């Protein structure tokens, strides 16, 4: 019946293949033999969600169990959502076309703060109570979430039964095994949650209560039901031995990253003070070159893709990068597979690396400079000099490239107008360098693209204490940058500061934001990361209706001795380290990366391993 309803309206919508399932590589099972059903929900469109590597891994891993079935579910675009609501079509999973309200787990991956309203919208479309307190005590419809955003899940605490901190390959199955056992015993939801919170990496928000001071900061957190006072994230110790799929679902329609993705490492050695991923994914772990190459071959052969991308925070930091690329290029050239190598660093970019890249990449090169002056790059611990930036561009230009893209941030701690003007001046020096090279590409003009994001201070970084610049100040700096560019050979793009403001509020907020998110959703907010759907005015109304001052989270400096909303969650890096790094940043002093010297972040001590 539901399938007939869906098929009846497919020709009325854009990209109907998003909603029908049945793709090559998708997994169907006999429902009568299934003990636990898991709906893996991505709170954005199919095109974006199907590009997510974490979903591919956990989808295949769960389905390795004969009696467990993981199915996919994505946020419908507004055109299909309208049809769903008009025709009583509940949110469903793609493999079976069954409503996800009938599943045991409804699991979300939280990759970006501006997807929060989509979570509420998907629960509503599914017919699942939005607030956890309103769900039946029957052991079913366990709504959980993982992903980078749950390092501070408090703005979502009222809506979820469980958050999974850290890496999910082991803990997800442990949680499902416990559920399967307790469901057969006739346990209640509360019984299950009491047991679940004892699994390392599992956070049950209903067992924690925040008490606030008169100034609005956190006084303390009270625990109930024998829940641990601090919940530690889960990590995978050996990436060579961890599960990795040999096959991916191959979409009928084009998606954002329409290719094979192979993970080469987790974590980062660099310690850039703004980068949340670099800290929450510590410790640094690599896959061996042989394993990377074997996984690449298996996925290309099983999916038929002719493009593969190496996934990591800094691929060129792999200790065996030359050997790995040599092996991969030998294979990809022979099989006519395109190899994409993102996440390059200017301080280890060489002519030999360029020669390898030229065999697989024909477009421009992208590098992250982040700051327009050396002083500011030292503040953020980028550990990249202007000499290295210019040398990298020289190698690229001499190697036949005529276009480079540079990423910067605006609104960084201690930033001055001189730093903003420095972005334009650096871009101009790169242009001058191009025309000074005798063997530059002939018949081509140089193009330097400058992408300038607004700085968003995030939890579990040395800059978690920092305020964000006001919208007015960011707009002033954006104008200053545009006015400082004197040539059309430099193209500047930047972010909407209203979007960045909401991002920092949701990133650094606490449970008092739950009613704000709910109110914003009720006012029609969804797909907030999409410019055409973002309604900043409705968010402003929601803050006003709930009596919450957004500046308290966005534009206030968090004190070192303040109890932070995420302090009862342990992502292995110590707060003392973050404080020390924050103080060092304000002195514009750098900290060497992990291979040069241990900076004492505390991760390796907690996981019982030596530093480099």
Which residue, among 256, 277, 253, has the nearest Cα to 266 in the 3D structure?
A: 277
Helix pair 536-546, 497-508: axis angle to 10 deg: 40
DSSP 363-427: S-EEEEEE-SSHHHHHHTT----HHHHHHHHHHHHHTT--EEEEEEEES-TT--HHHHHHHHHHH
Distance CA 153, CA 160 (A): 9
> Which is nearest to 155 in space by CA: 105, 205, 197?
205
- Tell which residue, 428, 427, 487, 433, has the closest CA to residue 452: 427
Q: Give the SS3 label for residue 43.
A: coil
* Phi, psi angle pair for 610, to nearest 5°: -80, 155
Q: What is the DSSP letter of 38?
A: E
Residues of the chain with pLDDT under 70: 342-364, 612
pLDDT for 438 equals 86
pLDDT at 2 (0 to 100)? 86
φ, ψ of residue 469 to 5 degrees: the values are: -60, 150
Two tokens at 347?
Answer: 């301080």
Q: How many residues does the chain have?
A: 612
Indicate the angle between helix axes 514-522 and 116-126, nearest 10 degrees.
Answer: 60
Mind listing the pLDDT tens digit for each residue in 154-171?
A: 999 999 999 999 999 999
Coil, strand or helix: which one is 106? strand
The strand ranges marked E within 440-563 are 447-454, 490-494
- Count CB neighbours of 232 within 10 A: 16
Domains observed in the chain: 260-495+573-585 (3.20.20.70)
Q: Which of 345, 407, 415, 406 is nearest to 375 (CA)?
A: 415
pLDDT of res. 350:
62
Nearest residue to 98 via CA among 110, 88, 89: 89
The predicted pLDDT at position 49 comes to 97
The whole model's pTM is what?
0.95
Contact 502/528 with Cβ under 8 angstroms? yes
- The DSSP result for 148-180, as a single string, is GGGGS-GGGTTT-SEEE-B-HHHHHHHHHHHHH
Q: In what order do the strands lie in the sheet containing 365-370? A: 365-370, 403-410, 447-454, 490-494
Which residues have C-beta within 8 Å of that of residue 182, sequence separation ≥ 6?
Answer: 139, 191, 192, 195
Question: Distances from the Cα of 103 to the Cαs of 1, 35, 78, in angstroms?
Answer: 18, 10, 24
């Amino acid at each position: 019946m539901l399938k007939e309803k869906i098929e009846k309206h497919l020709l009325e919508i854009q990209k109907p293949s998003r909603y029908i399932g049945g793709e090559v590589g998708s997994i169907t099972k006999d429902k009568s033999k299934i003990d636990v059903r898991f709906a893996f929900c991505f709170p954005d469109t199919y095109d974006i969600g199907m590009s997510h590597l974490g979903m591919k891994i956990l989808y295949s891993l769960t389905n390795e169990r004969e009696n467990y079935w993981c199915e996919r579910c994505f946020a419908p675009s507004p055109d299909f959502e309208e049809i769903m609501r008009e025709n009583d079509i509940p949110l469903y999973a793609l493999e079976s076309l069954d409503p996800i309200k009938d599943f045991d787990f409804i699991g979300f991956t939280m990759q970006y703060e501006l997807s929060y309203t989509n979570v509420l919208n998907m629960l509503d479309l599914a017919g699942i109570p939005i607030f956890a307190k309103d769900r039946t005590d029957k052991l079913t419809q366990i709504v959980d979430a993982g992903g980078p955003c749950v390092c501070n899940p408090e703005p979502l605490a009222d809506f979820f039964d469980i958050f999974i901190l850290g890496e999910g390959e082991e803990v997800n199955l442990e949680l499902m095994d416990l559920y399967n056992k307790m469901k057969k015993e006739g346990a209640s939801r509360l019984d299950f949650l009491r047991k679940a919170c004892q699994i390392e990496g599992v956070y049950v928000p209903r067992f924690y209560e925040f008490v606030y001071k008169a100034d609005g900061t956190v006084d303390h957190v009270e625990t109930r039901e024998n829940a641990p006072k601090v919940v530690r994230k889960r990590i995978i110790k050996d990436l060579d031995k961890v599960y990795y799929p040999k096959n991916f679902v191959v979409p009928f329609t084009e998606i954002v990253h329409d290719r094979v993705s192979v993970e080469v490492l987790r974590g980062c050695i660099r310690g850039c003070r703004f980068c949340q991923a670099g800290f929450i994914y510590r410790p640094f772990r690599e896959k061996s070159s042989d394993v990377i190459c074997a996984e690449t071959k298996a996925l290309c052969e099983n999916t038929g893709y002719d493009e593969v991308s190496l996934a990591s925070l800094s691929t060129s930091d792999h200790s065996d990068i030359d050997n790995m690329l040599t092996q991969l290029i030998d294979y990809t050239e022979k099989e006519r597979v395109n190899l994409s190598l993102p996440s390059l660093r200017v301080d280890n970019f060489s002519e030999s690396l360029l020669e390898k890249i030229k065999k697989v990449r024909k477009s421009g090169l992208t590098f992250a400079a982040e700051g327009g002056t050396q002083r500011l790059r030292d503040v953020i611990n980028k550990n990249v000099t202007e000499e290295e930036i210019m040398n990298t561009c020289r190698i690229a230009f001499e190697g036949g490239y005529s276009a480079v893209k540079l990423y910067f941030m605006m609104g960084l701690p201690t930033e001055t107008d001189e730093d903003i003007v420095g972005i334009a001046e650096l871009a101009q020096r790169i242009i001058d360098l191009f025309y000074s090279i005798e063997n530059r590409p002939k018949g081509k003009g140089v193009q330097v693209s400058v992408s300038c994001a607004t700085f968003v201070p995030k939890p579990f970084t040395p800059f978690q204490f920092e305020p964000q610049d006001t919208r007015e100040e960011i707009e002033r700096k954006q104008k200053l940058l545009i006015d400082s560019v004197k040539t059309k050979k430099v193209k500047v793009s930047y972010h909407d500061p209203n979007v960045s403001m909401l991002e920092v509020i949701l990133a650094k907020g606490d449970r008092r934001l739950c009613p704000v998110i709910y109110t914003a959703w009720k006012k029609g907010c969804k797909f907030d990361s999409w410019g055409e759907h973002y309604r900043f005015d409705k968010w402003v109304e929601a803050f006003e209706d709930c009596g919450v001052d957004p500046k308290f989270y966005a534009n206030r400096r968090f004190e070192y001795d303040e109890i932070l909303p995420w302090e009862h969650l342990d992502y292995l890096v110590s707060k003392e380290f973050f404080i020390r790094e924050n103080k060092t940043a304000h002195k514009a002093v750098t900290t060497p990366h992990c291979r040069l010297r241990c900076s004492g972040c505390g991760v390796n001590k907690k996981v019982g391993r030596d530093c480099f």
